[in-house]
Amino acid sequence: MQQKPDLIEILRRSREGEYCSPRDWDLKRIPQGVKKMLKKYDLQKSVDKENPVNTDLELADEFFKAGYELALELGMFNEARDRIIRISEDELKSTLKLAPSEVELGFGADKRVLKSRTPSDPTPMLFGSSLGITVSEDKWPLLTEGIARQLEVDLLEGGSLCTINGLDALPNDPSETLLCYEQGRMHRQIRKKAGREGMPGIGNISAVTEFGQFCYGTKGNFYNTDLSLILYPSELKINNQTLHKVVHTLAMDGLIFAGSPGMIGGMPGTPEGAIISSIAASLLQYAVLFATVGGGELYDIRYLSNVNREGLWALSATHQALSRNTHLCTHGIANQVSGPGTRELMYETLVGVSVIAASGTAFSTGPRSAGGKFNDYLSPLDCRWCAEVSHAASGMSLESVNEMAKKFLPEYEDKIKTPNIGKPVEEVWDLQNFRPLPEAEKVYDEVRAVAEDFGLPL
């Protein structure tokens, strides 16, 4: 018998669940809950910095058990009302059973099938580009079309916009609503112009609040075969904006793509703690947020990245745990810090995306070039590289990817705190002609050749 709670029940629990103060949630419930599970499953100090990819799959399974139990013990916190949305074991089991293992995205010849994967699964991990790097209004259409023209890129997200006809678009303001309607309309036109009308999209990256998300699934805007992006404040914590977006997407018969990273150094503490909280958050997204795709993001707040040794290990263990113990269509991100046109970004992508792909993740997005911090620091060439690595590394053994990580980490790891931010798009990419500029292409060719020599089947 189906036990998965319905939307009304989730909304009820979001108002009437157990009261908890935000301070208690952040400083007691999460840290104490995580510590308890780490101890119970003997997972403290399991990160191996010398081997940045976990190859012990039984250990990954132990992490899954700990994350699963944490999900049941903690539940998801609604900060709008300081209430805990708790999910019972029967409900969680039923939710995971009912979650799709295969989802059609987009339509026609450009359609993609998102499939649940396992570690070293040869099924290619799908890749969507980019992340929410802000792009100037005048460059956004051609840059986004440049990304759509990269046939290796499976889903189109595109950068964020901050202005509409020169007016700052502010969250929770009518300008946000207007901007997102306009961006969604252009997003659809751009896919058609690039010759990939049915290419699945992700929308809307500029929607901070629910107002921006109302464009999803409406006439002339994002299709309901695109993914509706629903990010929430931190792992295990949602708010009413999150729930508004869920309600709207479900009303549009759409596909929910939920996520928020577990933080190494944050409330769950150690990398091992972050793995457990990330797994718990991933599982709960399917029950509380009705996710079709979700979970598994994770990064280190000291570096705002995860391509460092501890971050990579945590990513690998999280995704191995989820992919071996569920049939969920999970999502993961390699959070790069270097910028367009740099060798460092190419290597960060090579290592980070390979680790996710080989660990059994179904879907990834990126790049987060220059840490996603600088306006216009996004190139379609880097999107292509991410997608190429995503597809090529999918069948690799964890041992090979571990060797790859060990070989190429020295190319960038000492610069993670002070990264080379590279160049803005116009200095690395010919926007009008949709091709890389020679200097950036040379860097791409060089690193690509190095990766091929190593054995990445590009």
Partner 1 sequence: MDNVIVKKLYDAVIEGEEEIAVEAAQESIDAGLNPVEVIKTSIQGAMDEIGAQFEDGEAFLPELMLAGEAATEAMDILLAKIKEDGGESTEVGTVILGVMSGDHHDIGKNLVKAILSANGFKIIDMGIDVGVKAFIETAQREKADIIACSTLITTSLPYQKELIQTLEAMGIREKYSVILGGGPVTSQWTKMISADGYANTASECVSLCTQLMERSEKGGEGEPIIIGALT
Q: Looking only at residues 111 through 150 of this chain, which bind partner 1 when binding is defined by CB under 8 A? A: 132, 134
Positions in 11-40 near partner 1 (CB under 8 A): 26-27, 30-31
3-state secondary structure of 85: strand
Shortest Cβ 181–partner 1 spacing (Å)? 15
Q: Which part of the chain contacts partner 1 (CB under 8 A), choosing from 10-18, 54-62, 264-272, 348-356?
A: 264-272
Q: Does 311 bind partner 1 (CB under 8 A)?
A: no
The only residue of 75, 266, 296, 367 in contact with partner 1, by rule CB under 8 A: 266
Q: Is residue 168 part of the contact set for partner 1 (CB under 8 A)?
A: yes
Does 171 sit near partner 1 (CB under 8 A)? yes
Window of 214-222, 229-237, 349-357, 428-436 that interacts with partner 1 by CB under 8 A? 229-237
Q: Would you state the structure tokens that stand for residue 163, as one six-digit string? A: 């202005």
Residue 90 in tokens:
């029967």
Please report whether residue 285 would count as binding partner 1 according to CB under 8 A: no
CB-nearer residue toward partner 1: 326 or 338: 338
26/62 with CB nearer partner 1: 26
Closest CA to 199 of 209, 184, 188: 188
With CB under 8 A as the contact rule, the residue among 17, 52, 203, 419 that binds partner 1 is 419
Distance CA 73, CA 22 (A): 17
In the bound state with partner 1, the residue whose beta carbon lies nearer, of 68 and 232, is: 232
Nearer to partner 1, 106 or 261 (CB): 261
Choose which of 203, 311, 372, 436 interacts with partner 1 (CB under 8 A): 372
Confirm or reject binding of residue 418 to partner 1 (CB under 8 A): yes
* Nearest alpha carbon to residue 121 among 317, 314, 325, 398: 398
Query: Is the Cβ–Cβ distance between 169 and 161 less than 8 Å?
Result: yes
Residue 306 found at the interface with partner 1 (CB under 8 A)? no
Q: Is 278 a residue that touches partner 1 (CB under 8 A)?
A: no
CA dihedral 239, 243, 245, 249 (to 10 degrees): 160
Residue type, 417: K
Nearer to partner 1, 159 or 380 (CB): 159
Residues 314 and 47 sit within 8 Å (Cβ to Cβ): yes
Phi, psi at residue 155, to the nearest 5°? Answer: -125, 145
Burial environment of residue 344 by CB neighbours within 10 A (0 to 12, 13 to 18, 19 or more): buried
Choose one: 150-158, 206-214, 285-293, 396-404; the region binding partner 1 (CB under 8 A).
206-214
Cβ 1 to partner 1 shortest distance, Å: 37
The Cα 235–Cα 233 span in angstroms is: 7
Nearer to partner 1, 333 or 404 (CB): 333
Residue from 98, 113, 151, 170 in contact with partner 1 (CB under 8 A)? 170
Distance of CA 68 to the CA centre of its chain: 20
d(CA 419, CA 147): 24
The window from 109-117, 278-286, 372-380, 440-448 that contacts partner 1 (CB under 8 A) reads 372-380
Nearest distance in Å: CB 337, partner 1? 9
Query: Torsion over CA of 245, 249, 250 and 256, rounded to 10 degrees?
Result: -90
Q: Which helix (H) or strand (E) holds 202?
A: strand 202-203
Residues 6+ apart with CB under 8 A from 408: 347, 350, 351, 454
Phi/psi at 275 (5° precision): -60, -45
Using CB under 8 A as the binding rule, whether residue 178 contacts partner 1 is answered as: no
Pair 140, 130: CB distance under 8 Å: no
Nearest to 356 by CA among 407, 406, 322, 326: 322
Which residues would be at the binding site for partner 1 (CB under 8 A)? 26-27, 30-31, 79, 132, 134, 160, 162, 168-172, 176, 206, 208-209, 232-234, 239, 241, 263, 265-270, 273, 301-302, 304, 310, 371-374, 418-419, 421
